[in-house]
């Protein structure tokens, strides 16, 4: 079977399973199968596939037809201005989280050699993107998942910032190392009982550890705010990603811990998503 026919068959299978972009997904999975990109697959569509590649391709199509996200099947996701290595141990970087990166870059235009802490670094998409943009900044990332730390290390090295990033496996409660000019976190903030109502590809495939914010959705955010107020320098900036219905509660928590609220911002879907504050 040639590449063209395999892509068509793959697309039909995905279409029958009501997967939203069957043709595109089939092309991407073919590119992954032959370790190449879509352009190569489409320009060489008459090439015959070996049996092992056909098997690999239709296995990927099968997984996709069961709802597994493309990012986990290709182990790639584009975020800010880099491609990140992703596995199902990390959340898939969201376009909404680019708002967090944008804020940090705006806040640090005039800064030199600052130390940034990322609490729950996951794939590293936030901190690695910042370090890539700001060549004299230093990063520290913590996570309770050892696998996430490995992935963020891979991303930091691949994107050339590995020597400026320190990683620690730690719960935020137990982390007491250093004082930071800027702290960022995208903690798990979904209410435990609401997890099952998230989109199927999220709830069935993404790590609960990165999503579950306990009964009220704020149990991790609370810890992160409390600890950040000790780890941050005076006048340091704190940038937090939050759930769409958490703005007022989070602002109160921040104020209680001595933060001044600079702004609360909306994501692409016009939901409250990011709070910028300053330690006073």
Name the residues that contact ligand GLN, by CB under 6 A.
Answer: 94, 186-190, 198, 202, 211
C-beta closer to ligand GLN: residue 73 or 99 = 99
Pairing of strands 259-266, 272-279: antiparallel
As measured in angstroms, the least distance from the Cβ of 5 to ligand GLN is: 36
Distance CA 199, CA 126 (A): 23
The continuous run of DSSP H or E covering 13 comes out as: helix 3-16
Write down the least CB distance from residue 48 to ligand GLN, Å. 41
Q: Which residue's CB is nearer to ligand GLN, number 4 or number 96?
A: 96
Compute φ and ψ for 239, nearest 5 degrees. -120, 120
Q: Of 56 and 223, which CB lies nearer to ligand GLN in the complex structure?
A: 223
Query: In this structure, is the dihedral angle defined by the CA atoms of residues 29, 33, 39 and 41, taken in order, positive or negative?
Result: negative
Quote the CA–CA distance of 264 and 14 in Å, as a whole number: 40
CB of 166 to ligand GLN, least distance (A): 23
For residue 132, which of 164, 100, 107 has the smallest C-alpha distance? 164
If the CB atoms of residues 114 and 253 are measured against ligand GLN, the closer one turns out to be 253
Sign of CA dihedral 54, 60, 63, 65: negative
- If the CB atoms of residues 141 and 187 are measured against ligand GLN, the closer one turns out to be 187
**Nearest distance in Å: CB 238, ligand GLN:** 16
Q: How far is the CB of 224 from ligand GLN (least distance, A)?
A: 11
Q: Could you tell me the smallest distance in angstroms from the CB atom of residue 271 to ligand GLN?
A: 9
One DSSP character per residue, 101-142 reads HHHHHHHTTT--S-EEEEES-TTSHHHHHHHHH-TT-EEEEE
Nearer to ligand GLN, 129 or 186 (CB): 186
């Amino acid at each position: 079977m040639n590449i063209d026919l395999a892509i068509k068959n793959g697309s039909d299978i995905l279409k029958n399973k009501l997967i939203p972009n069957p043709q595109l997904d089939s092309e991407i999975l073919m590119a992954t199968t032959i370790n190449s990109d879509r352009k190569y697959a489409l320009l060489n569509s008459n090439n015959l596939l070996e049996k092992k590649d056909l098997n690999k391709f239709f296995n990927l199509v099968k997984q996709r037809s069961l709802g597994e996200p493309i990012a986990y099947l290709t182990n790639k996701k584009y975020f800010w201005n880099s491609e990140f290595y992703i596995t199902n141990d990390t959340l898939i970087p969201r376009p909404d989280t680019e708002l967090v990166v944008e804020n940090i870059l705006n806040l640090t235009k005039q800064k030199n050699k600052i130390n940034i802490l990322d609490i729950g670094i996951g794939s590293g998409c936030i901190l690695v993107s910042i370090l890539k943009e700001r060549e004299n900044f230093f990063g520290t990332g913590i996570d309770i998942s050892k696998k996430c730390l490995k992935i963020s290390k891979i991303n930091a090295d691949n994107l050339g910032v590995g020597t400026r990033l320190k990683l620690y496996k730690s719960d935020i409660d137990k982390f007491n190392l250093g004082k930071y000019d800027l702290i960022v976190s995208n903690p798990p903030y979904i209410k435990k009982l609401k997890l099952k109502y998230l989109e199927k590809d999220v709830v069935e495939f993404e790590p609960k550890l990165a999503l579950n914010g306990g009964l009220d959705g704020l149990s991790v955010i609370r810890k992160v705010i409390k600890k950040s107020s000790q780890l941050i320098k005076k006048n340091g900036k704190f940038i937090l990603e939050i759930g769409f219905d958490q703005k007022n509660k989070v602002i109160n928590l921040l104020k209680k811990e001595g933060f001044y609220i600079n702004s609360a911002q909306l994501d692409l879907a016009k939901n409250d998503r990011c709070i910028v504050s300053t330690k006073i």
